[in-house]
Amino acid sequence: MKRSVETFWATLGEGSLILVLAAIAWAVQQPLIFASLGPTAYELVEQPQLRSARTYNVIVGHLVGIGSGFLAVYLFSAWTAPSVLFAFTLRRGGAAVFAATLTTLVNLVLRASQPAALATTLLVSLGVMQSGRDAASMIVGVLIIAAIGQPMRHFRLKYTEPRPGPISPG
């Protein structure tokens, strides 16, 4: 019975986070929902005890990922290179390696580890989302999932037993 309750709350929580984000994106007709917010929702609900699920880590981690991705695109002159959805180029590959490395380094220095931030930086550096409008939408999406995810995270920490995983303070 206990496992069924946990499964119910985890499923409801993760689905609800994505539903609310998708509904807001639809209402404002902006791409506020993107692939790396899925793992972020998972951490907020399934692994709320992890440091990477804290508001600071979610926001700073993804912002560093976005910034690193754009810096890498600039440094590797990848603005005009096709997205990897169409062709893989050395400029995109170099930008991806640099962006992932920089995202990891800066997030470790800032103590803002957020695994999904690497997916965010790859979305930018590989050309899937690299316009100013994309950046603004991603930032707003991150802020929304952090805002709606933290109450869910606190609920899970207080009233349910999250699935086992590494324990970290915060």
pLDDT of residue 115: 96
State how far the Cα of 29 lies from the Cα of 32, in Å rounded to an integer: 9
Residue 149: pLDDT band (50, 70, 90) is: very high
pLDDT of residue 156: 86
Between the CA of residue 78 and those of 68, 101, 167, what are the distances in Å? 13, 17, 39
H/E segment holding residue 33 = none
pLDDT of residue 125: 96
Residue 4 CA from chain centroid, whole number: 28
Please list, in sequence order, all residues whose beta carbon lies within 8 angstroms of the beta carbon of residue 75, skipping any fewer than 6 positions away: 95, 98
Q: Flag whether pLDDT at 22 surpasses 60.
A: yes
Q: Which residue has the higher pLDDT, 166 or 148?
A: 148
Share of the chain above pLDDT 90, in %: 78
State how far the Cα of 73 lies from the Cα of 158, in Å rounded to an integer: 42
Q: Hey, what are 22's tokens?
A: 């998708």
pTM over 0.95, yes/no = no
Domain ranges of the chain: 2-159
On average, the pLDDT of the chain sits at: 91
Lowest mean pLDDT among 64-68, 84-88, 109-113, 125-129: 84-88
Q: Flag whether pLDDT at 168 surpasses 60.
A: no
CA–CA–CA angle 155, 147, 157 (5° rounding): 20
CA–CA–CA angle 83, 85, 86 (5° rounding): 75
- Mean of pLDDT values over 98-108: 98
Q: What is the pLDDT of residues 28-83, one digit of tens each?
A: 999 899 999 999 999 999 899 999 999 999 999 999 999 999 999 999 999 999 88
